[in-house]
Structure 1
Amino acid sequence: MMSLAGALWFAVQDDLFTNGLCSNSSSPSISISNTIQGKHPSARLKKDLFVSGHSPTSAEPNILAALACYAQGSLCSKTTDLLGLDQTAAGEAVKTVTQLLADMSPDFITFPNSYNDRMGAAQAFKNLSGVPHVVGVLGYLHVKVSPPLGEENMYMNTLGYHSVMMQVIFDVDGNLLSLEQCCPGGTPEHTVWENSDIGRQFSIFQHGHTWVVGSRSLHGCAHVLTPVEAFRIKSNAALRFNKAHSQLHGRTQQVFGSLKSRFQCLRDIGSIQSPESVACTIKACCVLHNICKKFSVPLPLDFSAEPLHPPSEAANVTAEQPFDYMEDAKDEMIEMFFNIAEDEGE
């Protein structure tokens, strides 16, 4: 946990320096304090932890309390005693650090918006799988919860437990690129995508002619590359593509498993009032995930992959719809990149 706390501290300082908050001053904390007076609430949260009156040493117990809560799923008295905090102070520290990290998610979780960044991301995916023009893998992180009374059906997911779900896009290395749309676990994935900001950006070609890789539940969604349905497989090229697609989409098991293995709080949040009440905790852990990737913090020894969620019944119905623009584009791509000559050992 200490290595993660150090990584968090340096990453936050790096973010503040990068954004010019600590420039032209021999004392970063003084510069931050002078810069953020009267600014956005997230800036005041930064001030609460990092102003001149709070050195890195005094701020670290608060950070460690939050990290312990994320890692263990709760704060026990033994941990708070070691940190020199009472339960009330520790609880407030967790809330403050969680809100701070959640507010910083746009700085640490960013989508490749420039042409060069998109091409770099696409080349990495093509080198791995042979699939071109892919800039991310789209998945839905499910966090177990006890839902509000009377809303149990809304929260029941396709694996048979109650959850909230967060839409996530990550790159070839498992860095998170997009995070939004925290909603009940029974919400159809295609509905979440079509109502998300990133989904709308793709629909107007803000990210060019690129794809994200998604599950069968997203069949027919704009710019989501889904596997070829069994009834449409007419060639070995389609089979090769499905194998490559499975290789990419299957990485959600590793990425989501990493999140839940590192942050046990994401295994079961407990009773909630709404998805929004859980969103800050998920965002905070996702920010820390990217920080861990940046600083090469190793995974816990008890890492376990996250199971894939089967498609909903609604998704199975949409899969039977007639061909559309996305299917035609996918067919052309498969023909061009996966149609290997039959005499090559087949």
Structure 2
Amino acid sequence: MSLAVPVWLLVQEQLLGNGVPDCGSSTCFDDFNDEALFELFHLTKPCVAFIADSIRLRIKTATTGREELSVDAQVMVALNYYAHGVFSGVVLDMAGLSNQSERAYLIVDKLSGVIVGMSDQFMSFPETPEAKACVASKIKKISRIPNALGILAAVHFKIVQSPQEKSSVSDANGTDYTSVVSQVTCDSEGNLLSVEKFRLSNGSTFKPETWELPSKEKEVEEGVKEPYRVIGTKGYQLSKYVLTPVTVPVTEGEIQYNKAHKMLDDIMQKTLSTLKRRFRCLLHLGYRQETTLDRNTDIIKACSVLHNISQKFSVPPPNAAGEVELVGPSKQHSKELEVCPEAVKARQKVIYEFFSNVSMETESTGDTDT
């Protein structure tokens, strides 16, 4: 997100003008005061207006069954669902959809696709040299870890089993639900840079350490003398372009490096907590038999785009806490994974140069990753 500053400024200039969104006329959101807006949508009035204007540029009206609804009415219904995972009666009444939840869900599905189409503007992994340097410098400033383009995590989005499924299915991770798991990258400021690689997991099939990085992220190691990296949270395997903690730190340098790594991990935890607290639909994507992976993927991506927009407007998260699960099952692997010796050496070089005054030749690695 921080790499798309020119794009963001251009859109902001087009939509915000002097800082006040121009809706052209009164909208259905005008009927709510600031407190009601935040309660219904977990967003502030300027942020809601910006989102509505951004969507309005892409669609005008959409047929939802028997008649056409205004864009503002559609946005109101979708934002309300994202915020709570259910529809508020007052919102459905204002949209003219009382007792028509099926039509409301169709609106959510449509607008989710529209918002996903805004990803290139509001959510992007660093590609240009300037963008990479900007993200990496901010991460280094707070952690001392150099050349890091983001923080990587595998995130659970819960799909609840129906009562019938619970009685017949036993998940390998000991939970009573299946989840959509996605690979997420954020920067040091809590902006989401990428949300991708969606798949279903029942606790036994998800192994983040076996995932390949996205094509854009894999490019960081090709043809670069001092390659960029990403910070891999729990479950990821150490590689030349994924930095993980030292499993058993021995030296002071390794201890300090692990503390810095934990600091970045905490940023990811806070980012995901904010995302799920603001958009509570992500805490419960529905019953497994009633949803599809494509629909869930669009909702997750749409909420991620809206998260970055709310970041730009400094919208505080709601107080309600939400459950956050970063990685796959806690189940131990049957055998230790092999780690490339060059990857271990690269990590030790970082520890030596930025976290320790002890020479690399005499420093104990204390490493049990292999």
- Which bracket does the TM-score occupy, shorter chain normalised? 0.7 to 0.9
- Does residue 326 in structure 1 map to residue 343 in structure 2? yes
Determine if contact 1:156/1:163 at 8 Å carries over to the other structure. no
Q: Deviations over 1:176-205 (max 9, x none)?
A: 11111111233111233x164345434535
Which residue in 1 is equivalent to 2:270?
254
Q: CA deviation at 1:276?
A: 2.7
Q: Give me the whole-angstrom Cα distance separating, in 2, the residues matched to 1:227 and 1:159.
A: 27
Percentage of pairs with the same residue: 28
Match of 1:299 in 2: 317
The number of residues matched between the two structures is: 303
Partner of 2:299: 281
CA distance in 2, matches of 1:4, 1:293: 11
> How far 1:324 moved relative to its partner?
1.8
Distance in 1, matches of 2:286 and 2:156, equals 13
Q: 1:74 aligns with which of 79, 83, 86?
A: 86
The amino acid of 1:102's aligned partner reads V
Report the CA distance shift for 1:310/1:316 in structure 2 as closer, same or farther (over 3 A). farther
Alignment of 1:113 with 2:132, yes or no, is no
Separation in structure 1 between the aligned mates of residue 224 and residue 198 of structure 2, nearest angstrom: 23
Measured in 1, the distance between the counterparts of 2:216 and 2:174 equals 24
Contact 2:221 2:227 (8 Å CA) reproduced: no
Residues 226 and 4 of structure 1, relative CA distance in 2, 3 Å threshold: same
Looking at structure 1, the residues matched to 173 and 44 of structure 2 have their Cα atoms a distance apart, in angstroms, of: 32
Report the equivalent of 1:189: 208
The equivalences for 1:118-129 within 5 A come to 118-129=132-143
- Does 1:101 find its partner at 2:141? no
Shift of residue 267, structure 1, vs aligned partner: 0.5
Which whole-Å CA distance do the structure 2 matches of 1:208 and 1:12 have between them? 43
Residue deviations 1:241-262 (CA, integer Å, cap 9, x gap): 0011011012222111101100
Q: TM-score if structure 1 supplies the norm length? A: 0.76
How far, CA to CA, are the matches of 1:318 and 1:98 in structure 2? 41
- Residue 220 of structure 1: how far off its partner (Å): 3.0
8 Å CA contact 2:209–2:236 kept in 1: the answer is: yes
Q: Distance in 1 between matches of 2:89 and 2:328?
A: 40
Q: Which moved more, 1:283-292 or 1:180-189?
A: 180-189
In the alignment, is residue 84 of structure 1 matched against residue 96 of structure 2? yes
Q: Is 1:59 equivalent to 2:71 in the alignment?
A: yes
Gap change, CA 1:317 and 1:247, over 3 Å in 2: farther
Deviation at 1:140, TM superposition (A): 1.7
Instruction: State whether structure 2 residue 235 is matched by structure 1 residue 223.
Output: no
Deviation at 1:215, TM superposition (A): 2.2
What is the deviation of 1:84?
3.1
Whether contact under 8 Å (2:97, 2:104) holds in the other structure is: yes
Moved more, 178-187 or 267-276: 267-276
Structure-2 change in CA distance of 1:270 and 1:92 (3 Å): closer
Query: One-letter code of the match for 1:118?
Result: K
- Contact kept? 2:277, 2:320, Cα under 8 Å: yes
Please list the CA deviations of residues 211-269 of structure 1 after superposition, one character each: whole Å capped at 9, or x if unmatched. Answer: 11112421234411100111xx3311001000110110122221111011001100011
> Aligned equivalents of 2:122 and 2:173: distance in 1?
29
TM-score (norm 2): 0.72
Q: 2:189 is matched with which residue?
A: 173
Task: State the match for 1:25 in structure 2.
Answer: none
Corresponding residue number in structure 1 for 2:256: 240
Structure 1: state its 5+ residue gaps: 17-28, 33-42, 50-56
* SS in structure 1 of the partner of residue 285 of structure 2: strand
Q: Which has the larger displacement, 93-102 or 174-183? A: 93-102
Alignment partners' CA distance in 2, 1:285 and 1:335 = 40
**Residue 162 (structure 1) shift:** 2.2
Offset, 1:120: 1.2
Letter in 2 for 1:139: A
Q: 1:341 to 1:199 in 2, by over 3 A?
A: closer
SS of the equivalent of 1:162 reads strand
Deviations 1:268-324 (A, max 9, x none): 1122354333101101100110110011111112245735547655668445x3552
Structure number having the greater helix percentage: 1
Kindly provide the amino acid, as one letter, of the partner of residue 142 in structure 1.
Answer: H
Secondary structure, counterpart of 2:157 in structure 1: strand
Q: For residue 228 of structure 2, what is the aligned residue in structure 1?
A: 210
Shift of the alpha carbon at 1:119?
A: 1.0
